[in-house]
Amino acid sequence: MAQEAITVVVTPWTSPTDVTLYPAGERYDSILKEEIFEWRATDVSVPMDAQINLLMTKRKLKSGMTRFSATLNFPVLEEATGADANGYVAKPKVAYVQPIQEVMYVHNRSTKAIRKDVRATMGLLTLNKGASDVSTVALSSGGLLGHFFDECSVY
C-alpha cells in the first residue's frame, strides 16, 4: 500500500461511535509469501488487546490470481460488576474476539471497475441497501448476508 491514511469507522451500535483505525505495521511473510498490512484503534480507555483491529493481506497464487483478504477483529469485553470491600473495580478484559473476514480472488485480467462493482454488490447484499437508499440502514435489516451471519444458528 503506497499511501497509508487514517481510517474512521462508524460502528453500527445502538448509539453509533467513531472508531479510528491507524496504520500499525506492514510486513512480508516469507513463508506464506504475502504482504500483511495492520491497522489498529487507539482508544486510551480500552486495553491494547481489546482494540478493534484490521488485518489485510495480499498474496499472488500459483494460478496467477491474486488473493486479497481483510479480517476485522472485534474484541468483546467482559466487565466486572460491583467492587470489592476496598472499592476496587477490576479493569475490563477480553472475553472473546469476534472476527469477520472478506476474501476476494482477483484474476490477472480483472479491471479496477469490475472489482469495484463486485465489492459494491457484496456490500449491498450485506447491508440491505438498495440503489436508491444509500444513506440509511435499519439495524434490524441486515440484508441477505447480514441475515445469514447474524440470525443463523451457531454449531
The whole-number pLDDT of residue 14 equals 54
Cell for 108?
A: 490477472
The whole-number pLDDT of residue 131 equals 47
Evaluate if residue 84 carries a pLDDT over 80.
Answer: no
The whole-number pLDDT of residue 48 equals 86
Evaluate if residue 30 carries a pLDDT over 90.
Answer: yes
Ranges in the chain annotated CATH 3.30.380.10: 1-80+88-110
Q: Are 1 and 26 in contact (CB under 8 A)?
A: yes
Q: Are 6 and 22 in contact (CB under 8 A)?
A: yes
Cell for 23?
A: 496504520
Q: Are 29 and 36 in contact (CB under 8 A)?
A: yes
Mean pLDDT, the chain, integer = 77
Encode pLDDT of 123-134 as tens digits: 777 665 544 444
The whole-number pLDDT of residue 124 equals 73
What SS3 state is found at 69? strand
Evaluate if residue 42 carries a pLDDT over 50.
Answer: yes
The whole-number pLDDT of residue 137 equals 45
The whole-number pLDDT of residue 78 equals 79
Residue 64 DSSP one-character state: S
Q: Are 102 and 69 in contact (CB under 8 A)?
A: yes
Cell for 85?
A: 470491600
**Residue 152 pLDDT level (bands cut at 50, 70, 90):** low
Fold of the domain spanning 1-80+88-110: MS2 Viral Coat Protein (3.30.380)
Query: In degrees rounded to 5, what are phi and psi of residue 97?
Result: -115, 130
The C-alpha atoms of residue 79 and residue 92 are separated, in whole angstroms, by 4
Q: Rounded to two decimals, what is the model's pTM?
A: 0.71
Evaluate if residue 101 carries a pLDDT over 70.
Answer: yes
Nearest Cα to Cα of residue 74 among 19, 114, 24, 23: 19
